[in-house]
Homo-oligomer: A and B are copies of this chain.
């Protein structure tokens, strides 16, 4: 992704250091967080310096490589014990993130498939880089498939941040938008601000600004208004988990936009890698919905005039809030799912065919 006209990834490794775009400070300040060891990397995941399932997965992978490099002995059994400890620390940072385990396990497997600690260390760094490259490549493929759905002069609505920042590069929902822009299509993006955590207004708008892609932030309430006016040609969102019948769990509000898109005959696409399909979830009702702390509704974060980023109360002290973090959009509202292998119809037979061929 472009930041200040330079190419960046969300996370990368150089020597013993893991570098992360500090997402806690965005969109107000662009800073690279430098982690010196796997414990600092674990902390960066925990404190949400990095967020987004694929980005967390890659960060976990790099954290494991760091842990391998930190080992100073020669004995392979001790090396294994050291790695298992690090694995536990890294995996416990965000226990529900499936991609985190996936990234860590990938590096562990390639590292332990050795018998010499010094050689294994090199393999661990190679494996972490391979994992990150693999993620960036599949996001790029999602972009190329999704780009075919975006026409000249199209306006696209997106919800939350399914961008490069949530992945290693390109993003999922934002990848087709990036590729359309790189291929010189004239496009415009309506960015749902995405309360309560405002990932749209803060992260998606920031990514689009940096790439010089025309966009406007809108209140989540205004998406239906612009749809009804005929201003939106296509909706593209990400996904946190997809059931085998095509029901999609994603950021709260996705269901609302999907119903409104259908009502206004606007195609509604979900962009996600095949790894997002959960073979254990037959339908959306099998997907647990996380309820997050009410403070995300009652307070907000923003930068005051002095340039300080602070927490502000935006509700009466006496009021409480309910804060479901995700909702499930039934497959009937979804036009298609854009994956790295192509666009899938949200029907069980087709999904099974794609997921099993993976």
Contact = CB atoms under 8 A, between A and B. Distances in A.
B220 A221 contact: yes
A195 B209 contact: no
Interface in A137-165: none
Given A216-B321, A320-B216, A322-B216, A312 B315 contact: no
A252 interface: yes
A28 interface: yes
Contacts of A263: 259, 263
A327 B201 contact: no
B319 A312 contact: no
A262 to B, nearest CB: 9
Given A217-B319, A220-B221, A222-B322, A302 B297 contact: no
A90 to B, nearest CB: 28
Contacts of A187: none
Interface in A280-332: 297-305, 310-324, 327
B323 A219 contact: yes
Given A217-B297, A310-B304, A259 B319 contact: no
Task: With a 10 A CB-CB cut-off, give which of A206, A220, A223 has the most chain B CB atoms.
Answer: A220
A260 to B, nearest CB: 6
Interface string A205-227: 11011000001111111111110
A276 interface: no
Contact of A302 (B195, B305, B314): B314
A193 to B, nearest CB: 7
A140 B216 CA distance: 41
A217 B305 contact: no
A82 B321 CA distance: 50
Given A201-B315, A300-B312, A327-B228, A256 B252 contact: no
A208 B320 CA distance: 11
Contacts of A260: 256, 259-260
A63 B252 CA distance: 44
A10 interface: no
A202 interface: yes
30 contacts: A27-B319, A193-B195, A193-B314, A194-B221, A196-B219, A196-B221, A201-B314, A201-B319, A202-B314, A205-B319, A206-B316, A208-B319, A209-B316, A216-B319, A217-B321, A217-B322, A219-B297, A220-B253, A221-B252, A221-B327, A222-B253, A222-B323, A222-B327, A224-B259, A225-B252, A225-B255, A226-B322, A300-B302, A301-B314, A305-B310
Interface of A: 27-28, 190-191, 193-196, 198, 201-202, 205-206, 208-209, 215-226, 228, 251-253, 255-256, 259-260, 263, 297-305, 310-324, 327
Given A221-B252, A222-B324, 15 more contacts: A27-B317, A27-B319, A196-B219, A201-B297, A202-B315, A206-B319, A209-B319, A218-B297, A221-B327, A222-B252, A222-B323, A225-B324, A260-B260, A300-B300, A302-B312
